[in-house]
Amino acid sequence: MNHALVSLACHAYVVAALVYLVYLVRQMDALATGGRVLVGTGLALHAVALVGLFGAQGGRPVGVAQGFSTFAFLLLTIFLVVDVCYRKPVIGAFITPLAVAVLMPGLLLDPGHVMSPDVQRPLLPVHITIALLGVAASAVATGVAVMYLLMERQVKGKRFGLLFSRLPSLEFLDTLNRRLAVLGFIALSVTLVTGAFFSSAAPGFFWTWTSKQIATLVAWAVFAALVGARSFGGWRGRRVALLTMTGFCLLLVSFLSSYDFIHVGGGAH
Amino acid sequence: MEFLCIGLSHRTAPLGVRERLALPEARQVELLQRLAQSPNEAFLVSTCNRVELYMAAPDMNRVRESAREELQQLGGPDALEHLYEHRGEDALVHLFRVAASLDSMVLGEAQILGQVKEAFEKGQGVGAVRGELTRVCAAAFGCAKRVRTETAIGRAATSMASAAVSLASKVFDGLKDKTVLLVGAGEMAELAARHLKQAGATKLLVANRTLARAEALAAEVGATARPYEELFTLLTAADVVVCSTASPVPIFTKENVGAVGKARKHRTLFMVDLAVPRDIAPEVGELDWVHAYDVDDIQKFVAENAAARAEEAQKAGVLVAQEVARFVRDRAVRNGVPVLAQLRQRGESIARAEVERTLAAIGDGLTDKQRKSVEAMARAIVNKLLHEPTARLRSVGPEHEGNRLAGAAAELFGLEEAAPPTGAGGPNVVANGGKG
């Protein structure tokens, strides 16, 4: 049932991605509205499925398939908020395909093996959800950074083609990137703090030099540097966009190393 | 009189060549005085996008050669390869299109008409434009007005200045909280200021070498005039810079713009150069935080958006064709009439001479009544003979038939040496104001 709902949501996202890509070429308001409605519908279905799943699992995603699914859900939720706030539907052409790509493993990996793992820890659902929110925020920030780099190429290279006429202004993309990076940074900070609590609660495992911990810490450092350099060093534009992408790649490593791929679905978080 | 347009524009020549041909006023006057010795006429349209000589002369081949030489001397050896020429009616069509803004970088922009008018008045001022080109220009300006009122071309597009503002909107998310610095206080700066205001800019600064002009512009558009000496201090605070000065060398170079980078924490700077020669050196755009555009970049941008205006331009093109045809027809009628007058004069003088000879031969043998009958008969023969040619010449058709007929009549009746109809023109009876 839940799997069917996620599959249905995925169909909605795929159609939304196509609609947004068409919007990139032919800017019609109806397409923007259509994309928004499709994403909204998909998210509603997706939410029902996730609530159903998590209810039985102590309020958190378990296993890599659900991890990807939740990641995609949060990613599109952030996008929808951005879309409603700023009314720049063209961002959808870059974010929705990314969300579909993220959701695919969630659908294709076998969810059958998922079982409620070890002991219940009260902070775990918060830790995981916020960690995923951080990854999702940095994913959207990366999408926006890609848009920035593309637009900067057009503006600098004086290429006045389709992208030039469709993409939002450099300043808008830079500001949006900043806001998303701040969101990502806060989420990551909370993740680290709750993670520390959570690890120290398990005897003898405060810092274990796992690839996940290292990648998360380095990613946090990158985002901290990014937010700091912006606020105090006046950094902006391309450098920040590239840093955002670096931070996201590190987070992706951290995210993937949270799961034991050999025993799909068997990982803790 | 034949017409010729010779020159180059943004369509044929790169900015570098156009820069060399952007002459100071005094040299323009000298050029016109050399080229427009009576009965020749000439005026020079010199804008940042085009340098064109429009000429009318009875012996165009000679004038054309000297015009080419002059342009080559001014623009360097490679200028010739960028030159284009339109002769006869093609030259008229070109002028009408230029004045109607159909040949502009931004189709339909209003500024060009003012610039052509100014060029025409300058020509008149130095005596280089007299009767023939005055009539041509009057028709061209009338046509431009018709294009503006009867098509949407002027509404769809505006000017280089508005294109520059559109470009700014791709860098900045609105101009409301941005500081705009206008360098130069001419017509271009004024236009840019108006567009920037329309786009939401509130903080406008004007810097100009002559402070009084900066103040005048500032008062007119609601900006603040600042002394030119503060230019680089102002640059530190500016987000958008629009240059349109007549400076022969770049004001902004990579070095002097780069020097303010630290003070402004490398905040994004958008610079538009509407001047030719350029006010902003091309290398300025290499700075990471600077986006610099010159007139050619703006042209490129406009060209991408031109498709939308193509339809209106087509309508305008039809109007131009109509107006040129009407002008040519009117001109033919005008030029045809003296042929008629001369023809009649010739006929009447022959009739009179023959009557006198006949009467002298007959002697006193005729009564007064018989004398009058002979005179009447001679006149009647001339009238009957000339009736058809007169009617034909008067009813000149739309395809410049009149001109050909006038020429043919002049040749047939040996009127080539006839005096011009006005003080301005040359021997127009055989002139080919139509096809060149």
Cis bond upstream, residue B39 (ω within 30): yes
Facing residue for B172 by CB, picked from A156, A167, A171: A171
- Chain A positions touching B171 (Cβ under 8 A) are 155, 169-171
Is B291 in the A-facing interface, judged by CB distances under 8 Å? yes
Q: Is the ipTM of this complex over 0.85?
A: no
Is the Cβ pair B266, A170 closer than 8 Å?
no
Residue B181 and residue B160: Cα distance in Å, rounded? 17
pLDDT at A265 over 70: no
pLDDT on residue B23: 85
Query: In angstroms, what separates the C-alpha of B245 from chain A's closest C-alpha?
Result: 23
- pLDDT 10s digits, A47-83: 998 888 877 776 777 777 788 888 999 999 999 999 9
AA letter at A105: P
Return the pLDDT at A250: 86
Q: Does A147 touch chain B (CB under 8 A)?
A: no
Distance from the Cα of B301 to chain A's closest Cα (Å) equals 6
User: What secondary structure letter does DSSP report for B37?
Assistant: -
Say whether both A30 and A85 belong to one domain.
Answer: yes
Which of residues A116, A150, A177 is at a domain's end? A116
Please check if B186 is assigned to a binding site: yes
Residue A113 reports pLDDT greater than 80 = no
Same domain, yes or no: A87 and A143: no
Query: Residue A267: pLDDT above 50?
Result: no
pLDDT score, position B156: 45
In what order do the strands lie in the sheet containing B269-273?
A: B224-227, B203-208, B179-183, B240-243, B269-273, B290-293
Confirm or reject contact between A155 and chain B (CB < 8 A). yes
Q: Judge if A60 and A156 occupy the same domain.
A: no
Quick check: A165 contacting B, CB < 8 Å? yes
User: Cβ of A234 and B266 within 8 Å?
Assistant: yes
Q: A160 and B300: CB-CB below 8 Å? A: yes
- A16 and A105 part of one domain: yes
Position A121 confidence tier, pLDDT thresholds 50, 70, 90: low
Residues A177-186 have a mean pLDDT of 92
Residues of B in contact with A161 (CB under 8 A): 304
> What mean pLDDT comes out for the span A103-130?
68
Residue A153 pLDDT = 93
Please tell me which residue, B67 or A266, carries the higher pLDDT value. Answer: B67
Amino acid A199: pLDDT: 63
Whether pLDDT at A131 is above 50: yes
Residues 142-201 of B with CB under 8 A from A: 169-173
Distance CA B283, CA A174 (A): 25
From chain B, the residues in CB contact with A150 under 8 A are none
pLDDT at A119 over 60: no
Least confident residue range of B51-65, B70-84, B130-144, B396-410: B396-410
| B179-231 pLDDT per residue, tens | 999 999 988 888 888 888 878 888 999 999 999 999 999 998 889 999 999 99
Q: How many domains does chain A have?
A: 2
Whether B111 shows a pLDDT value over 50: the answer reads yes
**What whole-number distance in Å separates Cα of residue B2 and Cα of residue B91?**
10
pLDDT value of residue A216: 82
Do A140 and A267 fall within a single domain?
A: yes
Residues A122 and A255 in one domain: yes
B261, closest residue in chain A (CA to CA) = A234
**A250 and A121: one domain?**
yes
Percentage of residues of chain B with pLDDT beyond 70: 89
Region B266-292: mean pLDDT is 91
**Which pLDDT value is given to residue B225?**
93
Which residues of B are known to be catalytic? 48
- Indicate the residue among A116, A150, A172 that finishes a domain: A116
Which residue segments constitute the domains of chain B, with CATH numbers given? 2-157 (3.30.460.30), 160-301 (3.40.50.720), 333-425 (no CATH)
Picking from A116, A134, A164, the residue at the C-terminal end of a domain is A116
pLDDT level of residue B336 (50, 70, 90 thresholds): low
The residue with greater pLDDT, A137 or B426, is: A137
> Rounded distance, CA A188 to CA A216, Å?
8
Domain that holds residue A49: 1-116
Q: What is the 3-class SS of B41-93, one letter each residue?
A: EEEEEECCCEEEEEEEECCHHHHHHHHHHHHHHHHCHHHHHHCEEEECHHHHH
Q: What is the pLDDT of residue B396?
A: 60
Asked whether the beta carbons of residue B289 and residue A237 sit closer than 8 angstroms, the reply is yes
Residue tagged 């102002």 (tokens): B234
Residue B342: both structure tokens together: 């001369």
Question: Are residues A135 and A75 part of one domain?
Answer: no
- Candidate from B2-11, B102-111, B425-434 with smallest mean pLDDT: B425-434
Same domain, A102 and A125: no
Given this model, what pLDDT does residue A205 score?
55
Query: What is the average pLDDT value for chain B, to the nearest integer?
Result: 84
Assess whether A138 and A246 both reside in one domain: yes
Tell which wins on pLDDT, B191 or B116: B116
- Whether the CA torsion B105, B111, B115, B120 is positive or negative: it is positive
Are A127 and A226 contained in the same domain? yes
The residue assigned the tokens 């290292």 is: A214
Is the backbone peptide bond immediately before B250 cis, with ω within 30 degrees of 0?
no
Q: How near does any CA of chain A get to the CA of B22, in Å?
A: 25
Whole-number pLDDT of residue B430: 34
DSSP for B163-217, written as a single string: HHHHHHTTTSS-STT-EEEEE--SHHHHHHHHHHHHTT--EEEEEESSHHHHHHH
Q: Return left, alpha or beta for B108; rule: phi > 0 is left, psi -120 to 50 is alpha, else beta.
A: left
Per-residue HEC secondary structure of chain A comes to CHHHHHHHHHHHHHHHHHHHHHHHHCCCHHHHHHHHHHHHHHHHHHHHHHHHHHHCCCCCCCHHHHHHHHHHHHHHHHHHHHHHHHCCHHHHHHHHHHHHHHHHHHHHCCHHHCCCCCCCCCCHHHHHHHHHHHHHHHHHHHHHHHHHHHHHHHHHHCCCCHHHHHCCCHHHHHHHHHHHHHHHHHHHHHHHHHHHHHHHHCCCCCCCCCHHHHHHHHHHHHHHHHHHHHHHCCCCCHHHHHHHHHHHHHHHHHHHCCCCCCCCCCCCC
Q: Do A137 and A40 lie in a common domain? A: no
> Beta partners for B51?
B8, B46
Q: Higher model confidence: residue B77 or residue A99?
A: A99
pLDDT at A126: 79
- Residue B50 is assigned to a ligand binding site: yes
| B217 close to B223: Cβ distance less than 8 angstroms | yes
